[in-house]
Amino acid sequence: MAAENTTLNPMEIMLQRRVAELEAKTALMQRLGTMQGFFSAYFEILKDHKTSLQAFETLNEQYFECWGVYRYQDYKSFCTQKNRYLKNNK
């Protein structure tokens, strides 16, 4: 029996990379698509930004890249919802 050729050709490599990209984007969409997931992601990235505004803008842009609309119209509306979320999830 001949040994199988396990070397991937360039097209297969490109397709594997694309599938991985789409899987990552799908996971991000599922996470950011819920209020709990959005706030969880916000608190995770907060430490990597100088201000809470910068963290919010980064995450709101990621949401826009996924959905084509912003999750929150502005930082003020985000803060209002964040405060409600925190109050209800003590």
Question: Does the pLDDT at position 12 exceed 80?
Answer: yes
All structural domains of the chain with their residue ranges: 49-90
Rounded to two decimals, what is the model's pTM?
0.74
Residue 24 has a pLDDT of 85
In order of 13, 19, 31, 46, 62, the CA distances from 24 in angstroms are 17, 9, 11, 21, 12
Give the amino acid at 34.
T
Report the distance separating Cα 34 and Cα 90, nearest Å: 18
pLDDT tens digit string along 28-63? 888 888 999 999 999 999 999 999 999 999 999 999
Report the distance separating Cα 72 and Cα 50, nearest Å: 20
Sign of CA dihedral 73, 75, 79, 85: positive
Alpha-helical runs (H) found in the chain: 10-32, 35-46, 52-67, 75-88
User: What proportion of the chain, given as a percentage, has pLDDT over 70?
Assistant: 94
